[in-house]
Amino acid sequence: MAAPALVHNPVGAPGTLPSANLLVSGAHVLDPRARLDALCDVLVRGGAIAQIAPAGELSPDGQTELVQGAGRHLLPAFVDPHVHFRTPGQEHKEDLETGTRAAAAGGFGAVIAMPNTDPVLDSAPLLRSLREAAAREARVPVGFLPAITRGLEGVELTEMAELMGEGALGFTDDGRPVASAGVLRKALQYQRLCGGVLTLHEEDPSLSHGGSMYEGAVSAALGIGGIPSVSESTMVARDAELAGYEGGRVHFQHLSCTASVQAVAAAKDRGFRVSAEVTPHHLLLCDEHVRGLDTRMKMNPPLAGEADRIALIEGLRSGAIDCLATDHAPHAPHEKEVPFEQAPMGTTGLETAFAALYTELVLPGVLELGLVVKRMTAGAALFGLPTPTIAVGEPANLTLVDLGAEWVAGENGWESRSENCCFAGRRLSGRVLMTVAAGGIAYRERAFSVVAA
């Protein structure tokens, strides 16, 4: 029998998070999938949603903590299908405990970790030990995507069937592309045996070679090697075609440019089993933000042009892009405090994702809050996980946010071990006050007072 996909420090285990008994009173409860968009009382008992009633109808008993929801929004907890927790091997950047703490602080109730660790997550014993570590340390449930190829070298397939039996959600060589079409085709064929989503970082190394940022007017002015958008989009088109040919299931990570969105939309029109994600930084920033050569703005794929940014927003709205993912990629200060071309790629994102999207897209009226909530939870179903839903009988996966609260990103430090956040210093609206993940309270904002009844 296959192992369960997600693991964390289980609710109710000795010395761990207890199952929550909560009454969130009078919050604006918003869950588009559950068709909830009203002021409600939500009662959580034993970690599950026990009752939903119009605001003011429920009152807590002696075992139930009363959480004042008035003026706040209660949302289904978000799911991030793309994070880097750096364990094993690079715990100076992040580990399962700090990473999941950052996730919980950002309102995420579940996350999926990438395998580009040291050593690479490419064998069943390593997956088993990581899942055991997650069971001890993780604040919110974590799933794992082991590598498609051994050592991420793009040559030999990992033992995918054994890895699936050990609880893998799918496979990815994230951080690198599967450069060889032949190798990816074999993985797609093998998927018929073992299942699991093939999750693809798309980049043609022969086009991106020598590049540190998006190729365009800004890279030309800075004299920095450019990565052309076709480095990504030609690979998206190639791999969509391969997936269609083999009838395989692929997920495209962190789309960054117009042509990639078009390639995914075209593949969906042809009935291919493809899905795609986009990050908050690609939705909100563009290559102009790289002009100051702030290494927090260096990521892969690079921040693209303003027209690409608009196309990504449209893709998210239309559904060509299925879900949001942060690509939370922590790096230590000394690794980022170097000249731009030498710096490693990546930005943290778990703690700012919702507030950044709310501030920059929802408040100005570009996207509706309900759509953002939907896309921030959609990653679960793509990987066969239950979608957090606010409905009676569901496990409590909840995020309580104060949309009116303003804060400066990073002003009080970070839950993550690293601070390389591209939104640091921005004034944001929307603060996560509390996160309930898999029935337990995973995060409380420090200043958020709760009143036990």
Partner 1 sequence: MNHLLSIEDLDRAGIERIVEQAARFAEVSDREIKKVPALRGRMVLNLFYEASTRTRSSFELAAKRLSADVVNFVSSGSSVEKGESLKDTVLTLSAHKPDVIVIRTPWAGAAELVSGWTSAAIVNAGDGKHEHPTQALLDVYTLQRRVGSLDGASIWIVGDVAHSRVARSNVLAFQRMGAKVTVAGPPTLIPRGIEALGCDVRFTLEELPSADVVYALRMQHERMSEALVPSLREYAACFQVNARRLSPRQLLMHPGPVNRGVELSGEVVDSPQALITSQVEAGVVVRMAVLYEMLSGSRAFRPVPEPQLA
Is 198 in a helix, a strand, or coil?
Answer: strand
DSSP H or E stretch at residue 431: strand 427-437
- Angle, to 10 degrees, between the axis of helix 96-105 and the axis of helix 124-137? 60
DSSP state, residue 140: S
Nearer to partner 1, 80 or 287 (CB): 287
Q: In the complex, what is the shortest distance from the CB of residue 223 to partner 1, in angstroms, rounded to a whole number?
A: 3
Nearer to partner 1, 223 or 413 (CB): 223
Nearer to partner 1, 408 or 452 (CB): 408
In the numeric block, which tokens belong to residue 289?
């933000």
Q: What are the DSSP calls for 352-418, one per residue?
A: THHHHHIIIIITTTSS-HHHHHHHHHTHHHHTTPPPP--STTSB--EEEEEEEEEEETTTT--SSS-
Spatial separation of the C-alpha atoms in residues 130 and 87, rounded to whole Å: 8
Q: In the complex, what is the shortest distance from the CB of residue 342 to partner 1, in angstroms, rounded to a whole number?
A: 6
End-to-end CA distance of the chain: 44
- Angle, to 10 degrees, between the axis of helix 306-318 and the axis of helix 258-269? 30
DSSP H or E stretch at residue 48: strand 48-54
Nearer to partner 1, 142 or 361 (CB): 361
Spatial separation of the C-alpha atoms in residues 169 and 113, rounded to whole Å: 10
Spatial separation of the C-alpha atoms in residues 7 and 439, rounded to whole Å: 13
Opening angle at CA 98, ends 379 and 303, nearest 5: 55
Look-up of token digits 């579940």: 110
DSSP state, residue 421: B
Q: In the complex, what is the shortest distance from the CB of residue 289 to partner 1, in angstroms, rounded to a whole number?
A: 8
Q: In the complex, what is the shortest distance from the CB of residue 161 to partner 1, in angstroms, rounded to a whole number?
A: 42
Q: In the complex, what is the shortest distance from the CB of residue 219 to partner 1, in angstroms, rounded to a whole number?
A: 7
Instruction: For residue 242, give the amino acid letter.
Output: L
Spatial separation of the C-alpha atoms in residues 421 and 413, rounded to whole Å: 11
By C-alpha distance, which of 181, 200, 323 is closest to 250? 200
Nearer to partner 1, 161 or 293 (CB): 293
The site for partner 1 (CB under 8 A) is made up of 215-226, 228, 289, 291-294, 334, 337-342, 424-426
Spatial separation of the C-alpha atoms in residues 101 and 308, rounded to whole Å: 32
Spatial separation of the C-alpha atoms in residues 109 and 140, rounded to whole Å: 6
Is 130 in a helix, a strand, or coil?
Answer: helix
Q: In the complex, what is the shortest distance from the CB of residue 216 to partner 1, in angstroms, rounded to a whole number?
A: 5
Q: In the complex, what is the shortest distance from the CB of residue 310 to partner 1, in angstroms, rounded to a whole number?
A: 18
Nearer to partner 1, 253 or 359 (CB): 359
Nearer to partner 1, 142 or 227 (CB): 227
Spatial separation of the C-alpha atoms in residues 361 and 355, rounded to whole Å: 10
Instruction: For residue 156, give the amino acid letter.
Output: E
Residue 294 annotated among the catalytic residues of the structure: no
Q: In the complex, what is the shortest distance from the CB of residue 237 to partner 1, in angstroms, rounded to a whole number?
A: 21
Which one from 41, 287, 327, 402 is the annotated catalytic residue?
A: 327
Q: In the complex, what is the shortest distance from the CB of residue 293 to partner 1, in angstroms, rounded to a whole number?
A: 4
Query: CA–CA distance from 253 to each of 180, 195, 262, 344, 446 (Å)?
Result: 18, 18, 15, 19, 33
Q: Which residues are catalytic?
A: 327
